[in-house]
Amino acid sequence: GAVVSQHPSRVICKSGTSVKIECRSLDFQATTMFWYRQFPKQSLMLMATSNEGSKATYEQGVEKDKFLINHASLTLSTLTVTSAHPEDSSFYICSAPTVNNEQFFGPGTRLTVL
């Protein structure tokens, strides 16, 4: 089946720095990708829908300037957490649908902000 990768799988950074997370569809093209975050023991929360060649669509309550999304190509979307703070520590996961609308998920990125 299709594969979606995320890099890095785990990142630790200092408060105030920015962190970039990549989501790649390895063997298919994805005009749309979804970004989620999840806190332990809590459900997955959709943050935004990334659209290739256009602006991302953010869910209510998600700060656009805080979580920058760039969908530069049909196989790559990036999420940049700007000026990260400890409360941004979370598990970030992306997903991408194929042309048949089958959804494939990345393995997730664990962000820890010190």
Size of residue set near another protein by CB under 8 A: 23
Stretch of 19-27, 66-74, 78-86, 99-107 lying at the interface with another protein (CB under 8 A): 99-107
d(CA 77, CA 14): 24
Site for another protein in 61-90 (CB under 8 A): none
Distance between CA 95 and CA 105 in Å, rounded?
4
Contacts of 75 (CB under 8 A, 6+ apart): 24, 25, 26, 28, 29, 30
* Spatial contact of 98 and 29, defined as CB atoms under 8 Å apart: no
- Interacting span for another protein (CB under 8 A) from 21-29, 44-52, 71-79, 80-88: 44-52
Residue placing its CB nearer to another protein in the complex, 83 or 102 = 102
Residue 5, interface with another protein (CB under 8 A)? no
Shorter beta-carbon distance to another protein: residue 52 or 105: 105
